[in-house]
Chain A
Amino acid sequence: QQQVKQSPQSLIVQKGGISIINCAYENTAFDYFPWYQQFPGKGPALLIAIRPDVSEKKEGRFTISFNKSAKQFSLHIMDSQPGDSATYFCAARTSGSRLTFGEGTQLTVNP
């Protein structure tokens, strides 16, 4: 019930391409869905987040698509850049509780 499943485990994209990372959850009590970006030796940093009352949120090159009925959400990175190379984690949280993280996706953007 508390798991968040993330795929793919790793992703290689050419510069300028679109990176897509998918997550699925089971717990319908989750009401906050953030994506975190983590560089080696650093803590996770919030990238973008969405609540289930909207189907899409866009901030610059980053877009979250949310499908409440399918219990799935995804991160799209448009015009991917080598500087985007990092590990990305989806997460979910119920109000007033801890974050449950996916397993992570290691993104490599080739120049």
Chain B
Amino acid sequence: GAGVSQTPSNKVTEKGKYVELRCDPISGHTALYWYRQSLGQGPEFLIYFQGTGAADDSGLPNDRFFAVRPEGSVSTLKIQRTERGDSAVYLCASSLGTENTEAFFGQGTRLTVV
């Protein structure tokens, strides 16, 4: 693929529901990152994968948030029992590795919890 692809581009869900956000990284990129961007703010780190394993999940706000990358490519961010405060743009980025290599971002998934 040409770039990082995120689906869906928009998601509206009711408070308390479960959502899954998908990220397709650039082919061959071993590092994958999830960030959350609230309106008017910079992206905030959630979790980072190196291959299939979560190398750093210290940014996940609570145990309602979980992410997987079972085959070292596509990743899914899962949010349980959504709350209105979870509304934000969720960004995914990938890079060839972690040693000062450029991170390429997807266009994001705008999640709205009503």
Contacts and interface: CB of A to CB of B under 8 A. Distances in A.
A96 B107 CA distance: 23
A85 interface: no
Interface residues of B, number: 24
A43 B107 contact: yes
Given A43-B91, A98-B33, A98-B59, A89 B99 contact: no
Interface of A: 6, 31-32, 34, 36, 41-46, 49, 51, 89, 91, 93, 95-104
11 contacts: A43-B105, A43-B106, A44-B105, A46-B103, A95-B98, A98-B48, A99-B43, A100-B45, A102-B42, A103-B42, A104-B40
Interface of B: 4, 33, 35, 40-45, 48, 56, 59, 91, 93, 98-100, 102-108
